[in-house]
Amino acid sequence: MRNFFTSIVILFLLCSCDCQIIVSGKIISSETGKPINGAKIEMVGKNITSESNQNGLFKIGDMSGFCYDPKIEVTYEGHKPFLIELESESEFQNFKLKKQSEFIEYEEPFYPNPYNKNTFVTGTWVEKYSGNFKIKSDSLIIYLDEKKINKEIELIKGKLKKKNSG
């Protein structure tokens, strides 16, 4: 009986595995196309952080007794955050991006067509998160958007005016 128990324990130890999770990539400004130095990269829920270097490069990892799908959040002053969950299946790599909009009210009603005062807009929806990325040679290339709400509002108003003028 003792040999049986010992065999079970040894089998359990041989079957348990360590899983190393490493995510590397580059953080780039969407507006300038230049690397971002000092962006904070975090493995959400794991209390593991890293920072991008002067070339925008980063590497973050974890050694765990089991494999899991890491969530990576990137933050940088004056920019919208970026949040992605990396799901690994046997043949495919899936990505879940955090997307969330927020409603911004205008200070005064906006009339897309100045000749029609019956149609006006009181606000608009803008994205709270950056959402542009690509994969290049097993690296995650993340483009952070600047957080300039007024600029986004003016762009939206310009599109509405153009749409209603012609």
> pLDDT per residue over 113-144, tens digit each?
888 888 899 999 999 999 999 989 889 999 99
Residue type, 39: A
Overall fold of domain 16-165: Immunoglobulin-like (2.60.40)
Would you report the helix, strand and coil content of the chain in percent, each value rounded to 5? 20, 45, 35
Got the DSSP string for 49-99? EEE--TTSEEEEEEEESS----EEEEE-TTB--EEEEEEE-SS-EEEEE--
Nearest in space to 67 (alpha carbons), one of 41, 44, 86, 95: 86
- pLDDT score, position 67: 82
Which pair of tokens denotes residue 68?
A: 């899991």
Average of pLDDT values for 155-166? 83
Positive or negative torsion for Cα 108, 114, 117, 121 = negative
> pLDDT per residue over 43-85, tens digit each?
999 999 999 999 999 999 988 888 888 899 999 999 999 999 9
Three-state DSSP state, 143: strand
Q: Quote the mean pLDDT of the chain.
A: 85
Q: In the chain, what are the domain boundaries?
A: 16-165
